[in-house]
A and B are shown apart, each in its own frame.
Chain A
């Protein structure tokens, strides 16, 4: 089913939505950020931005989050965080929608990660298909975009003065049913034009990452130790790639506490915060043993995790959506496409040869 949403009705539509609205805005130094309930006039239009610096999946899996609070006074008392409010993410890009679905799968595998899954259940994704990919984007290589065929609740395709609205889920359907007044049926030709737009967009990408080759090379262990060493030597272990990667889920857990009254009562909280498998302390055990003591083994771990078929069996898809954020942050040019293409060529590539 396809519908049309006229742009002059967009503001009213957004304001009619229940719950918090997250939408892309431009901060004063130029970076794009998903803000909660921003003034409607500041919300960026499709052609105004490529994507946000930090993926909006961070709204569901934030950099630090309190797992529970406690009060120690005799028998400890535990207080859980409040249930999350409904959230609508407007303007999320295709790659980040794909990332969100991956995280949902990961966080509900075997055990349900309560904080994430509770939020995900109450989150609706209204994505805007990309027609101007950025210079670091390579989503077509990872089934992550630029137009979505699945995964979105609603997907908007910009047609100048109106959006073509595509419904991808029941959640999206319900949202529209309750607000029929904003929509009109889309003319049939628009569908054809949409497919043409999607095709044209595919021609605009500047880089490619041959994920399939990477998967095969790693899974069959066809990569020489020498090549691993050369690539790992370039990594400065800053953890930037993991922190911007919308699919990286590793976290650390820490307790904090302080006296909260004069009679010895202690108050505190346990929080989780993003962690990164490239850090030496990540796998260090208490007795001082470290199963991945050197940079090469940690570097290998990162790419095996994202690309090896055995690992993907668990997560169901390659651990990359092609958003290109790691390219932006990696000082050593050992981001995803650089590594994949190095594996493919079997020699270290220069910065320009992604």
Chain B
């Protein structure tokens, strides 16, 4: 959160909170907390945002470009937004645009799969319609941790939006990072999001891009492209650009089952637990650590996450005696 504050830093306030505890140190303790980072006076008041573009990614995924009332916001790749369709509800989405792009254009983007009430209502909206936004929320990716290192980005299906934000941020700051590899797996070619951008990544010289689908269509077969789950890309990697474990940071997003198997592959190649970075998904309501829905162990995915290292996830699992992924 701290890094993301930027120009909003002055809104931070220190108060004295009354601490009453059973374990020794009782009395007054200073506690730091944040005012909403968006314009709302109230923590739950969204800022209005106008939809300036809707792009179809797949039959059930759309990318919305939003113009926020009160101007652009500063955020980190991996942070998310609570988007409201008034009268229907609010739901969390990873911000899929990069902060560098937002600086240039003033807009933010979210990529949404229609799956329930809010997401279907969002899909029915058109350019010019308004939504509410509370953002940025969550911790974001530890980009400094990856500086100067080899970066491996592994995405599965609709898990790509936060990784797209990260990748575009890295490409805009290319000199700060080592070799970048993107591994992307989707169920079918039609299920791939950001198809235009994928082609561009494939063409780029400063980026290694490998993709695969579980089930090919005719076009895919004709082009002779790879078929198989995303973990089948690892042996290819071993041949063409082997992983140097301590100097590699991997970012993994996708369905839990995919995350699980990708982590196994990374562990096999001795990537340290602290360097395997992933996101946890939980049912969320408030996005600000109050409603309790996203809690796992003593952490709230909305404020302590959604980004966690594999080391942190393991610790969490032990502490709360339940699986995290």
Q: Tell me the count of chain A residues lying within 8 A, CB to CB, of chain B.
A: 67
Chain B residue with the shortest CB-CB distance to A150: B20
In B8-27, the 8 Å CB interface with A consists of 15, 17-23, 26-27
The answer to whether B86 touches A254, judged by C-beta atoms less than 8 angstroms apart, is: no
Residues in B whose Cβ lies below 8 Å from that of A70: 86-87
The interface-forming segment of A37-45, A99-107, A179-187 is A99-107
Q: How far is the CB of A162 from chain B (nearest CB, A)?
A: 28
The answer to whether A285 touches B283, judged by C-beta atoms less than 8 angstroms apart, is: yes
Residues in B whose Cβ lies below 8 Å from that of A108: 15, 17, 31, 33
Residues in B whose Cβ lies below 8 Å from that of A308: 298, 319-320
The answer to whether B86 touches A257, judged by C-beta atoms less than 8 angstroms apart, is: yes
**Would you list 26 pairs from A and B whose C-beta atoms are within 8 A, ordered by A residue?**
A76-B86, A76-B132, A78-B46, A98-B20, A104-B17, A109-B289, A111-B33, A111-B289, A113-B43, A114-B36, A221-B321, A249-B292, A253-B89, A253-B291, A255-B84, A255-B86, A255-B87, A266-B86, A272-B44, A272-B291, A286-B115, A292-B322, A301-B295, A304-B320, A312-B23, A316-B21
A101 to B41, CA, bound (A): 24
The answer to whether B322 touches A250, judged by C-beta atoms less than 8 angstroms apart, is: no
Is the CB of A67 closer than 8 A to any CB of chain B?
A: yes
Is the CB of A27 closer than 8 A to any CB of chain B?
A: no
Q: How far is the CB of A67 from chain B (nearest CB, A)?
A: 4
Partner of B31, one of A98, A109, A221: A109
The answer to whether B293 touches A283, judged by C-beta atoms less than 8 angstroms apart, is: yes
Contact flags (1/0) for B19-61 with A, using CB distance below 8 Å? 1111100110001011110000111111010000000000000
Partner of B285, one of A104, A106, A252: A252
A77 to B19, CA, bound (A): 39
| A104-B18 contact in complex given A250-B291, A252-B285, C-beta closer than 8 Å | yes
Residues in A whose Cβ lies below 8 Å from that of B285: 251-253
Residues in B whose Cβ lies below 8 Å from that of A249: 290, 292
The answer to whether B298 touches A314, judged by C-beta atoms less than 8 angstroms apart, is: yes
Size bin of chain B's contact surface: 35 or more
Q: How far is the CB of B59 from chain A (nearest CB, A)?
A: 16
Is the CB of B108 closer than 8 A to any CB of chain A?
A: no
Residues in B whose Cβ lies below 8 Å from that of A316: 19-21
Residues in B whose Cβ lies below 8 Å from that of A176: none
**Which 3 pairs from chain A and chain B are nearest by CB?**
A257-B87, A250-B292, A286-B116
The answer to whether A101 touches B34, judged by C-beta atoms less than 8 angstroms apart, is: no
The answer to whether A251 touches B292, judged by C-beta atoms less than 8 angstroms apart, is: yes
Residues in B whose Cβ lies below 8 Å from that of A305: 295
Q: How far is the CB of B247 from chain A (nearest CB, A)?
A: 32
A291 to B86, CA, bound (A): 28
DSSP class of B's interface residues: helix, strand, loop or mixed? loop
A283 to B286, CA, bound (A): 13
Residues in B whose Cβ lies below 8 Å from that of A159: none
The answer to whether B288 touches A111, judged by C-beta atoms less than 8 angstroms apart, is: yes
Residues of B within 8 A of A (CB): 15, 17-23, 26-27, 31, 33-36, 41-46, 48, 84, 86-91, 115-116, 119, 130, 132, 256, 281-283, 285-286, 288-293, 295-298, 303, 318-323
Chain A residue with the shortest CB-CB distance to B26: A150
The answer to whether A68 touches B15, judged by C-beta atoms less than 8 angstroms apart, is: no
Partner of B21, one of A104, A282, A289, A317: A317
Identify which of B26, B290, B293, B298 gathers the most chain A CB atoms within 10 Å of its CB.
Answer: B290
The answer to whether A282 touches B19, judged by C-beta atoms less than 8 angstroms apart, is: no
DSSP class of A's interface residues: helix, strand, loop or mixed? mixed
The answer to whether A101 touches B297, judged by C-beta atoms less than 8 angstroms apart, is: no
Chain B residue with the shortest CB-CB distance to A151: B20
The answer to whether A72 touches B289, judged by C-beta atoms less than 8 angstroms apart, is: no
The answer to whether A311 touches B298, judged by C-beta atoms less than 8 angstroms apart, is: yes
Q: How far is the CB of A222 from chain B (nearest CB, A)?
A: 11
Chain B residue with the shortest CB-CB distance to A98: B20
A300 to B319, CA, bound (A): 12
Residues in A whose Cβ lies below 8 Å from that of B293: 250, 252, 275, 282-283
A249 to B300, CA, bound (A): 14
A276 to B305, CA, bound (A): 22
A257 to B117, CA, bound (A): 14
The answer to whether B86 touches A268, judged by C-beta atoms less than 8 angstroms apart, is: yes
In A121-157, the 8 Å CB interface with B consists of 142-143, 150-151
Is the CB of A287 closer than 8 A to any CB of chain B?
A: yes
Chain A residue with the shortest CB-CB distance to B158: A287
Known: A275-B292, A313-B298. 18 other contacts (CB 8 A): A80-B41, A106-B290, A110-B288, A111-B303, A114-B36, A114-B42, A150-B26, A151-B20, A221-B318, A250-B292, A255-B88, A257-B87, A282-B283, A283-B283, A291-B322, A301-B295, A310-B297, A316-B20
Q: How far is the CB of A97 from chain B (nearest CB, A)?
A: 10
Residues in A whose Cβ lies below 8 Å from that of B35: 112
